[in-house]
């Protein structure tokens, strides 16, 4: 039976029609002066305000009942204990083990994985120390000044997002070190970088869980060729200028990376959950191993909360249930993530992979086609910038969109030049005011204005409001709170997958895309291809004519 036919789902559908469909958030707030207290949870360094959702106490209780009905508690236990929750690949999804203290790490099929995890972390720490101290040298004996991460998807987005967010936590030992990210298969990022970099002092980190991703391997070949113009001895070239991070040590060896330059993780870490593994090397290079360990600790604190807190106070569970409510019952198909902090600029990109690659599925774990929506379309941008770009659609468009407003509160204390500190602090107040104002306008529409200003507004100025949003305030952005923030979203994704009965840990659609791209590449290289559609044939013919 589809979850849609289940008692808890049916009860929510009835409740929506009877109590919510015709209600405006303005009325819900007027009817309940304690609404914020009722629908907000403060936990660790985070405050989740979900009062601006179209829910009542009854909606919330019915959503919690849906979670119980779907046996969420059991699923959470199974996730943390290493059960094969990735059912199509018969694998565990133990990213939580990467950030747990050794004594809290489960055994996997009898194996003590804590040793392997902490052994690799220690090895990563040694490499970081060698690079920071200048003992890791390039072919001419000079210390490394630039590290280039070659990776894509989960092997790029997490470290890239975190390095951008945590620049101000740079380890003093990394003062002279620049960390760069190259992901695109067309070589444009690499081509630009190679113009500026010095081969003598550049180290490449080849990051690929599978070590078969053509995007990454093609960038790596170009990087190798660039170095080969200066140094002919391949063992020196790779040994001093390449580190590999992968779950496939044999493939790293085949590519020529010596074992001493290999860092490993495992099949039971999904690509989009891998920033906690050795894929996080660029983060550790920037903020040091201590900083990296704080990132892990912050995520672990949220893991503990997710495992132990009752569902009605459980942040990821609440975030997930609200997503189900707005998507499946209110019918909202778009969701925008809006950090009010430029340091979190790349968080929305990171979350698009985390959420859409995980839950962009249409078949249940049991192989049945779903008869309800799963993951919405997610996108985002730094909030104040998005205000001047696409908020008009959020405010007055025809498509309802739900939003996550995310804002670290305290900023510009230590470390900011005294002359500009006061100015920057007042900018932060302005920034927070904008964050709060936008969610208020989205919910109230015209009614946010005093009555006298509302009267006489033309129809094109009329603004309905009633758009749902969540606000997540963070006391301060630090490595630990960033870790916790990412863990909140990871667990939100997992909870939604349990409600929707889908496997969030595979990505067969993407795999098919990779396979077809390989065949097409062969055809382009050969100058001919036997395709059964006139579009591909026509496009290839044009490419061949232009490239001739």
- Give the Cβ contact number of residue 142 at 10 Å: 12
CB 485 within 8 A of CB 406: yes
Structure tokens of 509? Answer: 């659609």
Site of tokens 């849906």:
66
By DSSP bridging, strand 401-410 and strand 469-476 are: parallel
Helix (H, G, I), strand (E, B) or coil at 476: strand
The C-alpha atoms of residue 532 and residue 519 are separated, in whole angstroms, by: 13
Residues making contact with ligand F6P (CB under 6 A) = 152-155, 208-210, 213, 216, 271-272, 357, 507, 510
The C-alpha atoms of residue 490 and residue 534 are separated, in whole angstroms, by: 42
3-state helix/strand/coil string of 358-421: HHCCCECCCCCECCCCCCCEEEECCHHHHHCCCHHHHHHCCCCEEEEEEEEEECCCCCCCHHHH
The C-alpha atoms of residue 355 and residue 377 are separated, in whole angstroms, by: 9
**Among residues 154 and 323, whose Cβ is nearest to ligand F6P?**
154
Structure tokens of 123? Answer: 């090895």
Structure tokens of 70? Answer: 């779907």
Annotation says 501 is catalytic: no
Reference 183, options 174, 192, 172, 171; nearest CA is 192
Least distance between ligand F6P and beta carbon 271 (Å): 3
Annotation says 345 is catalytic: no
Which residue in the list 195, 250, 388, 452 is annotated as catalytic? 388
> Secondary structure of the chain: what % helix, strand, coil (to 5)?
60, 10, 30
Which residue in the list 200, 355, 357, 501 is annotated as catalytic? 357
Annotation says 521 is catalytic: no
Least distance between ligand F6P and beta carbon 98 (Å): 15
Least distance between ligand F6P and beta carbon 443 (Å): 36
**Among residues 273 and 463, whose Cβ is nearest to ligand F6P?**
273
Reference 153, options 183, 181, 179; nearest CA is 183
Q: What is the DSSP letter of 141?
A: S
Angle of CA points 224, 230, 231, to nearest 5°: 75
Structure tokens of 116? Answer: 């392997």
Known catalytic residues? Answer: 357, 388, 514
């Amino acid at each position: 039976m589809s979850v849609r036919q289940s008692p808890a789902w049916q009860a929510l559908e009835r409740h929506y029609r009877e109590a919510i469909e015709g209600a405006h958030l303005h009325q819900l707030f007027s009817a309940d002066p304690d609404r914020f207290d009722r629908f907000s949870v403060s936990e660790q360094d985070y405050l989740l305000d979900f009062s601006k959702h179209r829910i009542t106490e009854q909606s919330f209780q019915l959503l919690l009942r849906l979670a119980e009905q779907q046996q969420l508690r059991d699923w959470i236990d199974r996730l943390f204990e290493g059960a094969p929750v990735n059912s199509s690949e018969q694998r565990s999804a133990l990213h939580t083990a990467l950030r747990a203290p050794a004594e809290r790490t489960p055994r996997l099929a009898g194996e003590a994985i804590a040793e392997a995890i902490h052994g690799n972390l220690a090895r990563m720490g040694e490499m970081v120390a060698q690079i920071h101290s200048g003992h890791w040298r390039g072919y001419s004996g000079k210390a490394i000044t630039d590290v280039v991460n070659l990776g894509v998807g989960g092997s790029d987005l997490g470290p890239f997002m975190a390095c951008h967010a945590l620049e101000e936590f740079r380890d003093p030992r990394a003062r002279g070190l620049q960390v760069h990210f190259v992901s695109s298969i067309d070589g444009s990022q690499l081509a630009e970088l190679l113009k500026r970099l010095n081969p003598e002092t550049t180290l490449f980190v080849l990051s690929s869980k599978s070590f078969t991703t053509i995007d990454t391997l093609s960038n790596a070949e170009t990087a190798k060729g660039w170095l080969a113009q200066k140094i002919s001895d391949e063992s020196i070239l790779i040994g001093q200028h390449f580190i590999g991070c992968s779950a496939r040590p044999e493939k790293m060896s085949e590519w020529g990376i010596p074992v001493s330059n290999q860092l490993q993780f495992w099949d039971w870490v999904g690509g989009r959950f891998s920033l906690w593994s050795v894929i996080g090397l660029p983060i550790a290079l920037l903020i040091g191993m201590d900083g990296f360990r704080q990132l892990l600790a912050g995520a672990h604190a949220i893991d503990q909360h997710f495992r132990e807190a009752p569902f009605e106070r459980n942040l990821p569970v609440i975030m997930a249930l609200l997503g189900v409510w707005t998507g499946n019952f209110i019918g909202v198909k778009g969701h925008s993530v809006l950090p009010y902090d430029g340091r979190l600029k790349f968080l929305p990109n990171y979350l698009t992979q985390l959420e859409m690659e995980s839950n962009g599925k249409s078949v249940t774990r049991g192989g049945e086609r779903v008869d309800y929506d799963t993951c919405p379309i997610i996108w985002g941008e730094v909030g104040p910038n998005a205000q001047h770009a696409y908020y008009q659609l959020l405010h007055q468009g025809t498509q309802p969109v739900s939003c996550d407003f995310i804002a670290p509160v305290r900023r510009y204390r230590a470390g900011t030049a005294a002359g500009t500190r006061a100015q920057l602090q007042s900018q932060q107040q302005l920034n927070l005011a904008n964050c709060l104002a936008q969610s208020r306008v989205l919910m109230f529409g015209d009614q946010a204005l005093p009555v006298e200003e509302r009267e006489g507004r033309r129809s094109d100025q009329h603004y309905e409001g009633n758009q749902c949003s969540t606000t997540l305030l963070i006391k301060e952005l630090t490595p630990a709170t960033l870790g916790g923030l990412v863990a909140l979203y990871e667990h939100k994704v997992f909870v939604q997958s349990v409600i929707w009965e889908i496997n969030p840990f595979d990505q067969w659609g993407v795999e098919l895309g990779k396979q077809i791209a390989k065949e097409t590449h062969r055809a382009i290289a050969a100058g001919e291809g036997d395709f059964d559609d006139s579009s591909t044939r026509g496009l290839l013919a044009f490419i061949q004519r232009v490239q001739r």
